Chains A and B, each alone.
Chain A
Amino acid sequence: MGAASADLIHLVLGIFGVLIVASVIGYVLERRLSPDGSNAAIENLNARIKAWWVMVVLIGIAFIAGRAGVILLFAFCSFAALREFMTLINTKRADHWALAAAFFVALPVQYYLLWAEQYGIYSIFIPVYAFLFMPIIAVLRGDTERFLVRIAEVQWALMICVFCASHVPALLTLHIPGYEGRNVLLIAFLVIVVQLSDVLQYVWGKLFGKTKIAPRLSPSKTVEGFVGGVISASLIGAALWWVTPFTPLQAGLLAFVITIMGFFGGLVMSAIKRDRGVKDWGHLIEGHGGLIDRLDSVVFSAPIFFHLVRFWWSLS
């Protein structure tokens, strides 16, 4: 990791600083406004800040553990996300082997191919091989009722939870001249920009939000929050250019693309939740809901960010 170490340490110290400030604010708010734990918004805020500490420490440990740690962490995220997704979709007994194959074949194979840095196969394994073999496995049971719906739902679960999510650790496989050994910082850049964008959209929305952007999908999202969040997160992205192979302008533009994709990813995923009649994908993370609730914007931005960087900066 060598060359990345100094920058990584600066980044981690910066994140710890932000979290310490957030924790202090949360503590003061709790003392002033919710000493008996009665203010739901403040309780939720503090639960979220605690969960952020846990998530940052887990990602930090994965970074220290290197390539294997990062790949294992995201493989676990894919597993937990796939479990949340499959819980909510329509499956029948006839889909049993197709579901088992998604969990115990498609998921491990995708992450193994990433580990082996086989771009030629891991970039098509799910959209080509898994997409064709899943319906073949399911059709062997001969149950045609709502067949297309069942297959489409399982395929989408794999696409979102495994294929898209795996493009975060896939950033480690890029070979960028002059940036050798520092790819883990690209993951940090992506994750920080996406997550700050979510938080800033929420903060701007709370402070100045008036105009609802998609009231039927997500009542808390406002135009003011969206614009403020996208601009401020893009500026922070530009300010983080020193951890990336990009110029400040390029870093800002990529951060802009990441935040836009993240925003619409969140919207798409809440449309699915509305359709299924649930508020959260699950209960894995205290205060945040399920893992997908935290990951929805990352999964939409990761493949686009990966391919933009690969196309313009990478040799492989």
Chain B
Amino acid sequence: MGTPIEWLAKPASVAIVLFARAITAVRAIWPESGMQTRRCVYFANHSSHGDFILIWTVLPPRLRRRVRPVAGADYWLKSPLNSFIGRDVFNAVLIERDREARKEDPVTQMTQALDAGSSLILFPEGTRNLTEQPLQPFKSGLFHLAQARPDIDLVPVWIDNLNRVMPKGEFVPIPLICTVTFGEALHIGETEEKAEFLARAEAALLALAPKRAGD
């Protein structure tokens, strides 16, 4: 049994997956070594609020159940609907982005979730990318997390085209085909510096972006 909210969360997650598939016909592209099945941290480019939904949709249900997106508490607790989707449906690790106001350390929150057996979806750019650049500079969170748990697999994930489906400020999605490309896992080196590691992670992610005519 459970509370009415828990009862609603399951059908809501099914509806969200079906909706995401109907609009984007999303397709996963796995690396040569195949699908990552161990607990890991997926780190992805961030252009839309729907980014983690797309990753979540292409993962097989067995993996999906233990994946938790890391998301900004300010956005996902803004309204009852946001908080229902963020907290109850996706079980997000909600972090306080405002340094002054926060009581808990985000890296501690993330390591706790990993230690409890969850995988994470992390957007190292911090906020949605609204620039013309393919990728914004990474914030340091990914580095601190990698240092705290050096054994964990860090899997780069490129989400393509979702920014065109629903650009900022629009509320009607345009049906366009999206792909989610998973790369080979990487790990932090024993003596690797912050700048060096973040540059390597950025390059690994950017390498997954598809090349198009005219680009």
Taking Cβ atoms with an 8 Å cutoff, the residues of A that contact B are 79-80, 82-84, 86-87, 90-91, 93, 96-97, 99-100, 103-104, 275-278, 282-284
Contact = CB atoms under 8 A, between A and B. Distances in A.
A272 to B, nearest CB: 11
A96 B173 CA distance: 9
A100 B167 CA distance: 12
A72 to B, nearest CB: 15
B175 A86 contact: yes
A83 B177 contact: yes
A96 B177 contact: no
A209 B174 CA distance: 43
Interface of B: 25, 27, 161, 164, 167, 170, 172, 174-177, 211-214
Given A100-B172, A283-B27, A275 B213 contact: yes
Given A90-B214, A277-B213, A103 B174 contact: yes
A284 B25 CA distance: 8
A100 B213 contact: no
Taking chain B's interface residues, is the majority helix, strand, or loop, or is none over half, making it mixed?
loop
The 8 closest A-B pairs by CB, nearest first: A277-B213, A87-B177, A83-B175, A99-B174, A100-B172, A87-B176, A93-B167, A276-B213
A99 B172 CA distance: 10
A184 B201 CA distance: 57
B171 to A, nearest CB: 10
A151 to B, nearest CB: 16
A79 B213 contact: no
Contact of A80 (B25, B167, B174, B213): B25
Given A83-B177, A276-B212, A278-B213, 6 more contacts: A80-B25, A84-B177, A86-B176, A87-B161, A87-B176, A93-B170
A79 B174 contact: no
Most B-side CB within 10 Å, residue of A86, A91, A96, A275: A96
Contacts of B170: 93, 96
A96 B175 contact: no
A93 B25 CA distance: 21
A104 B170 CA distance: 15
Contacts of B174: 86, 96, 99-100, 103
B7 to A, nearest CB: 32
A6 B40 CA distance: 59
A83 B214 contact: no
Contacts of A100: 172, 174
Given A277-B212, A282-B25, A96 B176 contact: no
Contacts of B214: 90, 277
A103 B23 CA distance: 11
Contacts of B161: 87
Contacts of A104: 172
Contacts of A99: 174
A96 B167 contact: yes
B213 A91 contact: no
Contacts of B172: 96-97, 100, 104
